[in-house]
Structure 1
Amino acid sequence: MSEKILTVKDLRISFETFQGEVQAIRGVDFSLQQGETLAIVGESGSGKTVTTRAIMRLLSNNALMKGGEVIYQGENLLDKSERQMQKIRGKKIAMIFQDPMTSLNPTMKIGHQIAEGMLKHLKMSKSEAYQRAEELLTLVGIPDAHTRMKQYPHQFSGGQRQRIVIAIALSCQPDILIADEPTTALDVTIQAQIIELMKKIQEETKTSIIFITHDLGVVANVADKVAVMYAGQIVEYGLVDEIFYNPQHPYTWGLLCSMPTVDTEGGLYTIKGTPPNLLDPPVGDAFALRSEYALKIDFVKEPPKFQVSKTHYARTWLLDDKAPKVRPPQAIVERQKLFVKGEVLDAERS
């Protein structure tokens, strides 16, 4: 069994704004094993990026840590000083951001940008760092790496710049790689190439990856486990096949039904309404106002974690023994039939 490398416990984060205190993260728990990929999915504003930036301690000045722990190598990262975190960022935990152009220095040659972290954290000589930088450029699929080391970011395509950002993130061989929507700005063909590259690198390096996305199609291709976030909480968590083929939360049903497939005809399914205002979070289940499956208790009391299996839980009162039996959307019923029969297909992975 692989070693647990990161544990997030009851993470709670607010932001001070002119309107008041926004309760952005409300009791998030998850763990990450060595060599595992955890995908965090949900609509914009659900708390995906804030959660992972908290791990890196890269939150804005108006952030308020209200509670919780981020345990890495037996120590709580939230207790560490900024100087201590500087030794961890890049070296032990690295991040790939959504837009590579904001991550790259336009005035600095690519070779130096990749070598910079190794010179700082690994105390390599300049020649060693530059040699390793060239190897990393080749690893991430940039042809003629020796020549291109001397070029600037604007001389590369969008897909190539994202590959360079991945090379920088991998330069110090981190234990954990956080990828914040790394394929969103790329076309579908380049997206697929970047996903394959990350899978290949993970197999070779045993790096653990936290992959943030709103695209469930991407999730099927990369994840071992999935955390579904809504209104600052993880509402469902499980192995990728459990989330795709045996989903239990109405929000997860909505996300899956919104996915286009080869069989999709006419308009796509959409989740009605908008996420709640976290200046004043709703009482009970935050998704209740948007759910056609909401029960009376959903507007009164927040649901606990109901265990579906050893690896799967969901926060929905529909799983309570006293709840009425409801029929999910037909598309979900068809998925669950495959799961029950043990015939989980690779349709999303093709």
Structure 2
Amino acid sequence: MEKILEVNDLNISFDTYAGKVHAIRGVNFDLIKGETLAIVGESGSGKSVTTRAIMRLLANNANVESGEILFKGENINKKSEKEMQSIRGKDIAMIFQDPMTSLDPTMNIGNQVAESLRKHRKVSKKDALERALELLELVGIPNAKDRLKNYPHQFSGGQRQRIVIAIALICYPEILIADEPTTALDVTIQAQIIELMKDIQQKIQTSIVFITHDLGVVANVADRVAVMYGGRIVEIGTADEIFYNPQHPYTWGLLSSMPTLDTGEESLYAIPGSPPDLLNPPTGDAFYPRNEYAMKIDTMEAPPFFEVSPTHKAATWLLAPGAPKVTPPAEVVRRWEKFNQTQKV
């Protein structure tokens, strides 16, 4: 399997008036060509900072202290801004969370979709507009030909998100980064956008990094899932492994707090406490103050990754040899039992 993207020991901090925020701390993951990798976690866990680093779109007060980001074997961190401008939009494209702030209110939709193609592929305005029309039809804009000269405010929220997707896809990028692209949409439109992205991925064979805090969305879109907490990836595996055989207590908490059709009258689980203060990151496992299964070693030393399977690993001392056996929350056990039953059928 060809790796199109590799992130190795990435560490990023931000200089603030209060001090240095250690936002990303030793993050490692890769992206296989043609797959969808979902990165999930609470707000502030480092999801968006990680993906903005891939695009080299970090704020001025950000410092990439160490690590490398390899795109097809070349370190993005060592490229000049001019080199990055030739990569952004053409080879790696990004869909941002709020389509209204991503679109220029003074430019019609046809020109906005065509702009990236004209810049990177050097095609004529006529040819670029023809391709823009093809993409707008592909993403499901009704009467697209008649709406090329319309402006963003003349479209609904769901249509604007489709337009943003068309802009990101116009050059057929090798990697598409989707930063919570369905958050501002209602459930019905969310489902349509997810199906649209899956359909387009198959048609143009792009690889997707999907950022979200909504595990329900992840189940429908991801091949693999990386769970982030406190600026670190704490568990990574296939979608089935993360959803049905999670190993990290934080992943247990996320899954237990998600309503399902099997959820009874009992209250949904809520992870106690708050995310860590990354101005002063904990010495040990960042999740230990909120972890009811924490051991003494969690307060002193951050856990390494322990392998659960060749595709599944988690950073928790509960997987260490000699660690006490604990029973996951009832919702996690229920998921595991239901998954086993379906596998036997």
Shorter-chain TM-score range: over 0.9
Deviation at residue 73 of structure 1 after TM alignment = 1.6
- Report the residue type matching 1:331 in the other structure: E
Residue 135 of structure 1 pairs with residue 134 of structure 2: yes
Listed one character per residue, the Cα deviations across residues 13-40 of structure 1 (whole Å, up to 9, x for unaligned) are: 0000011100000000000011100000
Deviation at residue 336 of structure 1 after TM alignment = 2.4
Equivalent pairs counted in the alignment come to: 344
Q: How does 1:268-279 map to 2 (within 5 A)?
A: 268-279=268-279
Deviation at residue 192 of structure 1 after TM alignment = 0.3
Cα contact 2:168–2:176 (8 A) shared by 1: yes
Q: How does 1:50-129 map to 2 (within 5 A)?
A: 50-129=49-128
2:298 is aligned to 298
1:227 is aligned to 226
Cα contact 2:201–2:207 (8 A) shared by 1: yes
Q: Residues 140 and 344 of structure 1: is their aligned pair in 2 closer, same or farther, counting only changes over 3 Å?
A: farther
CA RMSD of aligned residues (A): 1.2
CA distance in 2, matches of 1:314, 1:145: 46
Listed one character per residue, the Cα deviations across residues 176-202 of structure 1 (whole Å, up to 9, x for unaligned) are: 000000000000000000000000000
Deviation at residue 74 of structure 1 after TM alignment = 1.4
1:348 is aligned to none
Q: How does 1:142-221 map to 2 (within 5 A)?
A: 142-221=141-220
Residue segments in structure 2 that go unaligned for 5+ positions in a row:
none
Cα contact 1:24–1:232 (8 A) shared by 2: yes
Listed one character per residue, the Cα deviations across residues 246-284 of structure 1 (whole Å, up to 9, x for unaligned) are: 000000000000001123224321100000100000011
Q: Percent identity?
A: 69
Q: Residues 250 and 344 of structure 1: is their aligned pair in 2 closer, same or farther, counting only changes over 3 Å?
A: farther
CA distance in 1, matches of 2:179, 2:252: 23
CA distance in 1, matches of 2:338, 2:10: 35
SS in 1 for 2:176: strand
Q: What TM-score results when the alignment is normalised by the length of structure 2?
A: 0.98
Cα contact 1:338–1:344 (8 A) shared by 2: no
Deviates more, 1:257-266 or 1:244-253: 257-266
Cα contact 1:245–1:344 (8 A) shared by 2: no
- Report the residue type matching 1:309 in the other structure: S
Cα contact 1:47–1:229 (8 A) shared by 2: yes
Cα contact 1:8–1:30 (8 A) shared by 2: yes
Deviation at residue 342 of structure 1 after TM alignment = 6.4
- Report the residue type matching 1:56 in the other structure: M
Deviation at residue 334 of structure 1 after TM alignment = 2.1
- Report the residue type matching 1:218 in the other structure: V
Cα contact 2:3–2:72 (8 A) shared by 1: no
SS in 1 for 2:199: helix
CA distance in 2, matches of 1:340, 1:186: 34
Residue segments in structure 1 that go unaligned for 5+ positions in a row:
346-350
CA distance in 1, matches of 2:288, 2:49: 23
Cα contact 1:7–1:71 (8 A) shared by 2: yes
Q: Residues 42 and 86 of structure 1: is their aligned pair in 2 closer, same or farther, counting only changes over 3 Å?
A: same
- Report the residue type matching 1:94 in the other structure: A
Q: What TM-score results when the alignment is normalised by the length of structure 1?
A: 0.96
Listed one character per residue, the Cα deviations across residues 120-155 of structure 1 (whole Å, up to 9, x for unaligned) are: 001111111000000000000001111110100000
Q: How does 1:316-327 map to 2 (within 5 A)?
A: 316-327=316-327
SS in 1 for 2:343: coil
- Report the residue type matching 2:334 in the other structure: E
SS in 2 for 1:255: helix
SS in 2 for 1:276: coil
Deviation at residue 213 of structure 1 after TM alignment = 0.2
2:46 is aligned to 47
- Report the residue type matching 1:145 in the other structure: A
Cα contact 1:305–1:315 (8 A) shared by 2: yes
CA distance in 1, matches of 2:83, 2:278: 32
